[in-house]
Amino acid sequence: MKFFVDSADADEIRDLAATGMVDGVTTNPSLVAGTGRDFTAVLEEICGIVPGPVSAEATATDHETMLAEGRKLAAVAPNVAVKVPLTWDGLKTCRALSDSGTRVNVTLCFSANQALLAAKAGAAFVSPFVGRLDDIGHDGMELISDIRTIYDNYASIDTDILVASIRAPIHLKQAALVGADVATLPPGVLRKLAVHPLTDKGLAAFLADWRETGQAIL
Ligand code: G3P
């Protein structure tokens, strides 16, 4: 399973990339706005930190403008994946960009039928938002399971399921059990994955016993 960081904070991404656990990055207009920085500058910096796919979202809503934006974003760095919304204009743009060799991440997916359209449009990634479905009382992970089942029914589909809008570590476990290809993790959630109180307690006990020996390995 690939781990992406869901952030536009270059310093945060650089710190997490040092763990060796970061396979890519996803940004969105809200995350970029939160940096207070120029979009292209942020994108260039992030693409230089993480060699894997870095999603950068078009902000137009009409196909022609979205396509022009997508081509400009794709030109920033070879590892840019252009993000487009799951609308008819977004799907048209996905098809055009995919046909010209640009990887596309179709985002704001909230139904299995939408995910099927994204695959038919040649998306490299589809981003179903599990947290936002949970937020309104739906079962976000059920959508991931449905998409996995549908995609696996057709050998011709090679779109990766990129689980997005993750709220807690349990979402990652559930997504992995379902067989999602990618999870894009907020930095805080990624940091929590390695933490367990029994690990901390056990390590403290090992080290206390070791100190009693008076020995040193080096
Ligand atoms: O960046 C796409 C998605 O992960 C954002 O989800 O619900 O945390 O804004 P959310």
Rounded Cα–Cα distance for residues 163 and 173 (Å): 11
Per-10-residue mean pLDDT of the chain, 218 residues long, equals 98 98 98 98 98 98 98 98 98 98 98 98 98 98 98 98 98 98 98 98 98 98
pTM of the entire structure?
0.96
The single-letter DSSP state of residue 129 is B
Given the residues 2, 72, 83, 173, select the one marked as catalytic. Answer: 83
Please tell me the residue having the least CA distance from ligand 1 atom 8: 165
Centre of ligand 1 to C-alpha 129, Å, is 7
Q: Which of 181, 123, 110 is nearest to 152 (CA)?
A: 181
Given 3.10.20.740, 1.10.3720.10, 3.20.20.70, 3.30.700.30, which CATH number is that of 2-213? Answer: 3.20.20.70
Cα radius of gyration rounded to whole Å, the chain:
20
Rounded Cα–Cα distance for residues 207 and 97 (Å): 55
Is residue 83 among the annotated active site residues? Answer: yes
Domain coordinates in residue numbering, the chain: 2-213
Rounded Cα–Cα distance for residues 73 and 181 (Å): 24
Centre of ligand 1 to C-alpha 170, Å, is 16
Residues 6+ apart with CB under 8 A from 22: 3, 4, 5, 13, 16, 50, 52
Task: Give 24's strand partners.
Answer: 4
Alpha-helical regions (H) of the chain: 10-17, 29-35, 39-49, 63-74, 88-99, 112-120, 130-135, 140-152, 169-178, 187-192, 197-213
pLDDT of residue 59: 98
